[in-house]
């Protein structure tokens, strides 16, 4: 049985009737071509979820009857991804795959060997906007009631401070002695777990030393060296197996 399509709204409707309008309503009416009697889901991105049935569809609006509501608990552990900036559309691919795999928040990382640089002007804001838009669409695609937040870009120093405040922190590094599976018992089951993925050129020795000194654990996924755009999704799959987070 297929899952009803999910649409993100600013706030869940309080009554039994609702109108889905704006960009989401237009998408529902003209792209999804929803018809009376079809089931949909509305999510506020913060765990609130409403199930509804279509009453009528207009040109760019959909009338709904709300059938039930639920507020879902936050995920545990809450996994945050520090994804180094990647050139071209591979950065968007990285955050798209990570979102579909279950990431809870994303920190764009200005690592030393990043080829691409996001400045603090319009170009940087545009690039950040693309990541946020990609994450939003991926969350809808994977029917996620919790929308991962894409933060402002961070430096390695910023990351080191976040490592100190997190319940756990992992740096993916091909030269690490431990595999992720080797430290399964050390992965926190509550709080924030920070997962760090370096750029195409790799994490520098200085960066690794800084993060490990702050409390991060250097681990590898296996013998293969993964692309910067796919490593996070693979790691999330492994974490799901090890922690039962997504079982």
Contacting residues for 25 by C-beta, under 8 A, at least 6 apart: 19, 60, 61, 62
Tokens, residue 83: 């994804």
Tokens, residue 17: 């009737």
Main-chain phi, psi angles of 241, to 5 degrees: -70, -40
Q: Reduced to 3 states, what is the DSSP secondary structure of residue 6?
A: strand
What pLDDT, on the 0 to 100 scale, is given for residue 6? 96
Contacting residues for 128 by C-beta, under 8 A, at least 6 apart: 108, 118, 150, 152, 153
What pLDDT, on the 0 to 100 scale, is given for residue 242? 63
Instruction: Classify residue 90 by burial, with Cβ atoms within 10 Å: 0-12, 13-18, 19+.
Output: middle
d(CA 200, CA 202): 5
Output Rg (C-alpha) for the chain, integer angstroms.
20
What pLDDT, on the 0 to 100 scale, is given for residue 145? 94
Model confidence, pTM: 0.90
Q: Please count the other Cβ atoms lying within 10 Å of the Cβ belonging to residue 174.
A: 16
- Which residues of the chain fall short of a pLDDT of 50? none
d(CA 50, CA 17): 11
Strands of the chain (E only): list them: 6-8, 17-20, 39-43, 48-57, 62-71, 78-84, 105-109, 149-150, 168-172, 178-179, 192-197, 217-220
d(CA 12, CA 43): 7
């Amino acid at each position: 049985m297929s899952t009803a399509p999910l649409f993100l709204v600013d706030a869940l409707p309080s009554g039994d009737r609702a109108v889905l309008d704006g960009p989401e309503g237009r998408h529902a009416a003209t792209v999804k071509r929803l018809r009376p009697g079809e089931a949909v889901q509305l999510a506020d991105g913060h765990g609130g979820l409403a199930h509804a049935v279509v009453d009528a569809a207009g040109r760019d609006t959909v009338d709904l009857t709300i059938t039930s509501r639920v507020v879902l608990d936050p995920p545990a552990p809450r996994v945050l991804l520090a994804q180094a900036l990647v050139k071209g559309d591979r950065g968007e691919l990285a955050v798209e795959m990570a979102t579909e795999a279950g990431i809870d928040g994303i920190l764009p990382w200005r690592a030393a060997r990043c080829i691409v640089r996001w400045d603090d002007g319009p170009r940087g804001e545009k690039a950040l906007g693309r990541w946020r838009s990609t994450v939003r669409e991926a969350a809808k695609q994977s029917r996620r009631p919790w929308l991962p937040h894409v933060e402002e870009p961070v430096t390695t120093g910023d990351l080191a401070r976040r490592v100190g405040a997190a319940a756990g922190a992992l740096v993916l590094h091909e030269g690490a002695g431990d595999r992720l599976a080797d430290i399964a018992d050390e992965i926190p089951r509550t709080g924030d777990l920070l997962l760090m993925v370096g750029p195409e050129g790799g994490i520098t020795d200085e960066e690794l030393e800084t993060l490990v000194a702050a409390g991060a654990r250097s681990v590898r996924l296996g013998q293969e060296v993964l692309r910067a755009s796919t490593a996070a999704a693979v790691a999330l799959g492994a974490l799901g197996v090890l922690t039962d987070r997504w079982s």
